[in-house]
Amino acid sequence: MTDPMRIRASLTGDTVEVKVLMSHPMETGLRKDASGKLVPARYIKNVKASCKGKDVLTADWGPAVSKNPFLAFRFKGGAAGEKVTVTWTDTAGESRTDEAEIR
């Protein structure tokens, strides 16, 4: 249902920089539709990134994060050719997992 995340992972020295663009409406539950009814809350609540089976980032988000959120972070211990996997789960129970190769 959702578009794939756009993930870029680049190695500089011993540090991997990861940039992620997620496609998600991120509804707060406070906006009204054209008929005046509240649009139900639906937003990404958990984000997890891993490399070589180890978590390198975990985050708990709330409704204040913007539509189609962008996330950037760095970690040490990755090498060129390895994969970084990013997973999110939203309040409706939907989840998405994508990965990118470290370059």
pLDDT at 2 > cutoff 90:
no
Task: Confirm whether 1 is domain-assigned.
Answer: no
Q: Are 103 and 41 in contact (CB under 8 A)?
A: no
Q: What is the pLDDT of residues 59-83, one digit of tens each?
A: 999 999 999 999 999 999 999 999 9
Amino acid at 32: K
Cα Rg, the chain, nearest whole Å: 15
Q: Which of 2, 20, 1 is nearest to 10 (CA)?
A: 20
**Residue 62 sits in a domain of what CATH number?**
2.60.40.10
Quote the distance between the C-alpha of residue 30 and its chain's center: 22
Find where tokens 């139900």 sit: 40
Q: What is the pTM of this model?
A: 0.93
- Show the domain range for 82: 6-28+39-101
Task: Confirm whether 33 is domain-assigned.
Answer: no
Please state the domain count of the chain.
1
Q: What is the pLDDT of residues 26-62, one digit of tens each?
A: 999 999 999 999 999 999 999 999 999 999 999 999 9
